[in-house]
Homo-oligomer: A and B are copies of this chain.
Amino acid sequence: MFYEGKSKYLVAVDCIIFGFDSEGLKLLLLERNFEPAKGKFSLMGGFLAEGENTEEAAARVLEDLTGLNDVYLEQLQAFSAVNRDPGARVVSVAYYALINIEEHNHASVEKHSAFWVRYEDIPELIFDHKQMVDKAIARLRRKAATMPIGFNLLPEKFTLTQLQKLYEAIYQQNIDKRNFRKKILSTGVLNKLTEKDKKSSRRGAFLFTFNFEAYKRLEESGGLFGVNI
Chain A residues close to B by CB (< 8 Å): 2-3, 6-11, 34-36, 47-55, 75-78, 80-82, 87-91, 93
Contact = CB atoms under 8 A, between A and B. Distances in A.
- The interface residues of chain A, by DSSP majority, are classed as loop
Contacts of A90: 3
A10 B2 contact: no
A89 B50 contact: yes
27 contacts: A2-B34, A2-B36, A2-B87, A3-B10, A3-B87, A3-B90, A6-B10, A6-B47, A7-B10, A8-B8, A8-B9, A9-B9, A9-B10, A9-B11, A50-B82, A52-B82, A53-B80, A53-B81, A53-B82, A54-B78, A54-B91, A75-B77, A76-B77, A77-B77, A78-B78, A78-B93, A80-B93
Contacts of A91: 11, 48, 54, 91, 93
Contacts of A2: 34-36, 87
Contacts of A34: 2
Given A3-B87, A11-B9, A80 B51 contact: no
Give the residue among A49, A53, A81 with the most B Cβ atoms within 10 A: A53
Contacts of A81: 53
Q: How many copies does the complex hold?
A: 2
A81 B57 CA distance: 11
Contacts of A82: 50-53
Given A7-B49, A53-B81, 5 more contacts: A7-B47, A9-B48, A11-B80, A48-B80, A77-B78
Nearest to A55: B80
A219 to B, nearest CB: 15
A78 B7 CA distance: 18
Contact of A3 (B49, B51, B76, B88): B88
Interface centre among A6, A35, A82 (most CB of B within 10 A): A6
A53 B2 CA distance: 21
